[in-house]
Structure formats: C-alpha cells, structure tokens
Amino acid sequence: MKITRVRSILTAPDGITLVIVKVETDQDGLYGLGCATFTQRPTLVAKAVDDYLDPLLQGRDPRNSEDLWQMMMVNSYWRNGPVLNNAISGVDMALWDIKGKLANMPVYDLLGGKCREAAMVYRHADGREPQEVLENVIAYQEEGYLAVRCQMGGYGGRVKDITQATAVPSDQAPQATHRMEVMDRIASNFPGAYYNADVYARSIPPLFDYIRSKIGFDLFLLHDIHERLAPIDAVRLAKQLEPYRLFFLEDPLPPTQIEWFRRIREQCATPIAMGELHTHPLEWRPLVAEQLIDFVRAHISALGGLTPARKMASVCEAFGVRTAWHGPGDTSPVGHAANLALDLACHNFGVQEVIYFSERIYEVFPGTPELRGGYLWSNGKPGLGIDIDETKAAQYPITIKPIEWTQSRWPDGTLWTP
C-alpha cells in the first residue's frame, strides 16, 4: 500500500477558514482526512502540505504512521512551530483515519476502545452585563448542557462593552467622556482590540457571584482569562473566584510565564486549564509534572496531530491531569472528530469545548459529530467517521485579512498577549 497524493483543501462554510488535508492511496477509494486548521495563517499551512509533505510522502506506506510522524517532524530540521505542526497534523490524522477504515473500526477503538459513551461538552455564554450573561447561561442549561463558560464583553471585556455595561454616575459623566475621547485618539495611532485589564478583573468576581446567586451550584461554570492580565493580577483573580467553584479557570497566563503557575497553586484551589498555545512539549511538561494545572487544553493540530496528543494524554493521566482539548470555531469538524476519538478513549478525559455545528457544516462535512443532551456523540463509523464534500466545500472560499483580536491593547495603547 502506497500514498499517492497529499493535498490541502481550504474552505470556510461558516466564515472561519478551515484547512483540511486529504491523503490518497493506491487502494481504490481509500483515503484519509485530517485537520490542519491554523486560521491565522492558513495558506502557509497549505503550502507546507502541498509543496513539501506531498513529495516527501508519496510512495510511502500510510500504515507506518509513527515513523512518518517522526520523519515529518524532523525533515525540516527546525521544528515545533504552528505552521509545520498543523501541516503534520493534517497528515497524521488522515493516517489514523486510513488505519480505522482498513480495520473497519472507529479510531477510538484503535486507541483502546470507549471509556464512556459520549463526551460532556461546554458552551460559551457572553453578554454586555451580568443579566445578559445569566440569560444566556440559563438558555444553555435549559437545552441540557451541563457546563457553560461565562464571559462578559469578550476576552478581557472590550473597553466600550464594559463602559456601556457599567452605570456611570451623572457627576462622573464628563470624566468618562474625556477618557473615551483620549482612548479614541490613542486608538487612531495604535489600532487594535482595546480592553481595560483592571476593570475587567474587577468585573468578573461580581459576575460569578450574581450567576451563582441565581442558579446555584448544580451547573458547571468556567471562565477564560485568555492571558489578558499581568501575572500577579491573574493570581488575585484566581483567589477571588475560589468561592464560586469553577470547573476550571482557563489560560490565566501565557506559556512564557510558567513559573507564575506555582504562585497560583500556592494561593488557591481554583482548578486551572492551560495549553491551547502550546506547540512544544517543554511548554506543557513542567505544568503537568509539577501538577500545576488540572486540565490540559491543547489544540491538537498545533501539537502535530493525534500521535503526539495521545502521548500527551497518557503522560497527563499519570499525574492526575485531565484533558479538555481546544475546540472553538477554528477547529474544523475533522478536528472535532479527532478530539472526540480521544475523549472517548482516554480515561482521564475531563470536558470538551465545542461549537454549534450549522447545517452548512453538516453539508460540507457529512459525519460531523452530533450534540445531544449536553454531550458530543460519535456516529461509530470506521476511521474518524467523517467525510468532506469537496464540491460543496468549494462553494465557501476563504478570505484573508489582518486579524484584529490578536492586536489586543491596554488603554494606553500597549500591545498585550491575547
């Protein structure tokens, strides 16, 4: 059995650029699909797949997925970056998809079989003020979801959203107007996504106090700092949120501030989730080995695919760390299927982030996992259980434009890590 072609497919059914890799073989009708979605730099990933991995892999046996992963990782000599890792992931997931089809088994069976029938998921509830967030939380609860992530005004709370949501006394209105005028002037010279870290940090404990006072403690609640705070402020917020029993507090710090996770662990028992920016094992290994986090939040395609992710999950299990794979809109349905395969097979699964799958998604990606009763369900088909309709995918071309939300700035214009 030989690989005959490796190629990328770019599509955006819901307006978010997705990168899919298709690995074709010399066996009639046998191919695999993988997720290589790096929404911020999609065409670079596609070039890596089409110009480098395709000629490298043609003629090789697709069943040797471990050897091929090791070769792809080292072939460029420099490695462990998001572009190349995503390209490798697309191939790696596709090879697992091929394995499952050859064996006539779902990938989760190849990984050891089911540990559970379906994967508990969480959804995202946002709002401009606490009551709006509460209404969205209750709506998800009524739909049967067991866990909801609560934000207010997006990541870090956008400045204008926070200002509109906060009642300003009449005697302070002139000062507030002046501050907005100053910010508009700063933004004209330093355009970006502005937020006020101090106002944001002070707004979150009252938000959770309000929600818990209305719904009690029977629903799992989560929050994502998204690295929008200085380290010491992240420590303070983690302590303040302890009484509200979060399922986890996500990404309080960037990968460059690992030592500060020790301070958080020393100060409070708020569960911590981290990892969607990780592309190198040394970024997450100390966090797991020292038990500084409770959930690993890796973006599987940014790691390099299923092969490294299943190894990561095994290491995490040994240290009592659970999985909560990254699953936003910029994870393709193929990536969600891969997440689900690990969710079902790994004993140390915790929760799965997931999005709403539109009708367009199901049309372009038949076999996309289904959301029912607060859980994500596999269809049980061989491989990853998902396909792509390339004719329909072509009806949703991608668009390339500068990304604004990663240009996050403090009120004085200082660029801050998202």
Which residues are annotated as catalytic?
155, 226
Do the strands 119-125 and 352-353 form a parallel or antiparallel pair, or are they unpaired?
A: parallel
Tracing tokens 């907005």 back to the chain, one arrives at 180
Q: Supply φ then ψ for residue 204, to 5 degrees.
A: -80, -45
Our measurement of the distance from residue 389's CA atom to the centroid of its chain's CA atoms, rounded to an integer in Å, reads 24
CA–CA distance, 243 with 173 (Å, rounded to integer): 34
How many other C-beta atoms can be found within 10 angstroms of the C-beta atom of residue 106?
25
Q: Are 408 and 416 in contact (CB under 8 A)?
A: yes
Tracing tokens 């996504």 back to the chain, one arrives at 193
Helix (H, G, I), strand (E, B) or coil at 195: strand
Following DSSP, what letter does each residue of 76-137 receive, concatenated?
TSS---HHHHHHHHHHHHHHHHHHHHHHTSBHHHHTT--SSSSEEEEEEE--SSHHHHHHHH
Exposure string of 229-241, with b = 16+ CB inside 10 Å and e = fewer, is: bbbebbbbbbebb
CA–CA distance, 143 with 391 (Å, rounded to integer): 34
SS3 content of the chain, % helix, strand, coil (to 5): 45, 15, 40
